[in-house]
Amino acid sequence: MSETKDRPYHHGDLRRALIDTALAMLALDQNWAFTLREVARRTGVSHAAPYKHFRDKGVLLRELARIGFVQLGDAMTAALSSDISSMRGKFVAAALACIDFALHNPGLYHLMFSSDADKTADRQLHDAAMNTFGILLRFLEEAQRSGSFRSVPVSAQAAACWAQVHGLAMLALNRQLLEEKVGNEPVQAALDVLLDGLCRGEWDRTRV
Amino acid sequence: MSETKDRPYHHGDLRRALIDTALAMLALDQNWAFTLREVARRTGVSHAAPYKHFRDKGVLLRELARIGFVQLGDAMTAALSSDISSMRGKFVAAALACIDFALHNPGLYHLMFSSDADKTADRQLHDAAMNTFGILLRFLEEAQRSGSFRSVPVSAQAAACWAQVHGLAMLALNRQLLEEKVGNEPVQAALDVLLDGLCRGEWDRTRV
DNA sequence: CCTCCATGTTTACAGGAGAAACTTATCGGG
DNA sequence: CCCGATAAGTTTCTCCTGTAAACATGGAGG
């Protein structure tokens, strides 16, 4: 009522409020059907109000996915800029950051990599995804320059890493990384196998 | 009319007909919303008829996913039993078979690895998925015994392979394997990186 | 101060999930 | 050979969703 904020009209930045509500729900439930009406309800507005800010459901979904890629990129950057010395260690940290992000934002992660968020339909979403991928590319270039990683086309290593981490995240989300299937430390173990293919020379697993 | 088959009553195995219709649609469109009514319509029955054979939509979805895992397993088995000599070659063949399966059954593949097909809710689905995974496990055991692959816990290699192939398939399906991102032969290149981590010794890439 | 328009609300409609009541055809038994 | 019982399919109904259109409101600019 007495808000002096720059809230535009009635509600006060309903656009942001809707996004926040949706993000909160996507963080809680990967199986949420994502109904626009539920978002509106939880935000305390009528079910038609969102249409004043998003032409349709898809526009909101893509905006949420875009935010997800930015957040994921931030998490990766943070992990890579930690004071871990070895490239191998940095890689593991970044991969775990991705998987952590997925586990803490299951719905959002699913959305980001689902075709509901069609990247060809939204330039900004496409750019955000490319930016995040670029973080991986730059890291691999550096790791090759430093001699830690083998000198093969960066694009090949990037595809392998992207696929592997994404695959691990999806499997973790869907609870398909059960012990009976893949042992008790599946993520670390799988990353070690990948790293054996990325890194130059041998690596003493027992030292880790 | 003159059928002597054991078809139950009116339609003639409506259950099978519904499954076939659904599979056909899942093969065509990964973005299909999958409405039970559309399946019924295309099968030529009323929208309530499917409920006589599937308690709810989820039961049908899980049955479809189960069939998908069986088919995927068959594709993998076929690829592995080809007359390719090297373990490395066999692995690539099996991985490509998986990705091919995904590209030819985009909707079904999505369904199989989505949480719509909750594996904890259906024993038969769970078993089918485990069976398919078992094909990979047995191959890795053989590859290690033969000396082609490194002797590390099979579960670790399995997790890495499963994640990588699944990740590649998902990225391919969502058209995220664009050249600008990952070069022009992303699948083969990514598998090579993974194989460098799986295999013992060095491998002359130029010979392939 | 008054009017305009961005931002809301209400109302309306098409389509889906699923339950319940109703219909029909097949089968096993008298 | 007819007769319920019952499986299989249809109609109808309720509740939900996405989305469009009509209506309301209140803050900003003339």
B10 CB closer than 7 A to any strand D atom:
yes
Q: Looking at beta carbons, which residues of chain B come within 8 Å of A165?
A: 163, 167
Domain ranges across chain B: 1-54, 58-207
Cα torsion for A67, A70, A72, A76, to the nearest 10°?
-170
Indicate the pLDDT class of residue A36, thresholds 50, 70 and 90: very high
In A, residues 83-102, which contact B (CB 8 Å cutoff)?
A: none
pLDDT for position A173: 86
pLDDT for position B7: 45
Report whether CATH 1.10.357.10 matches the domain A57-207: yes
Give how far A40 is from chain B: nearest CA, Å: 22
Q: Looking at beta carbons, which residues of chain A come within 8 Å of B141?
A: none
pLDDT for position A206: 53
Looking at residue A91, what DSSP letter applies?
H
CATH number of A8-54: 1.10.10
pLDDT for position A109: 96
Average pLDDT over residues B152-172: 92
Indicate the pLDDT class of residue B202, thresholds 50, 70 and 90: low
| CB contact set of B10 (below 8 Å; sequence gap of 6+) | none
Q: State pLDDT tens for residues B68-103.
A: 999 999 999 999 999 998 999 999 999 999 999 999
Identify the CATH class of B58-207.
Answer: mainly alpha
Q: How many CB atoms lie within 10 A of CB B74?
A: 14
pLDDT for position A203: 66
pLDDT for position B43: 96
pLDDT for position B63: 97
Indicate the pLDDT class of residue A47, thresholds 50, 70 and 90: very high
Indicate the pLDDT class of residue A6, thresholds 50, 70 and 90: very low
Question: Which H or E run includes B23?
Answer: helix B14-28
User: Would an 8 Å CB–CB cutoff place A117 in contact with chain B?
Assistant: no
pLDDT for position B180: 64
CATH of range B1-54; options 1.10.10, 1.10.260, 1.10.3470, 3.40.50: 1.10.10
Give how far A48 is from chain B: nearest CA, Å: 22
Average pLDDT over chain A reads 89
Output the 3-class SS for A4-48.
CCCCCCCCCCHHHHHHHHHHHHHHHCCCCCCCHHHHHHHHCCCCC
pLDDT for position A80: 97
Q: State pLDDT tens for residues A52-78.
A: 999 999 999 999 999 999 999 999 999
Q: State pLDDT tens for residues A151-164.
A: 999 989 999 999 99
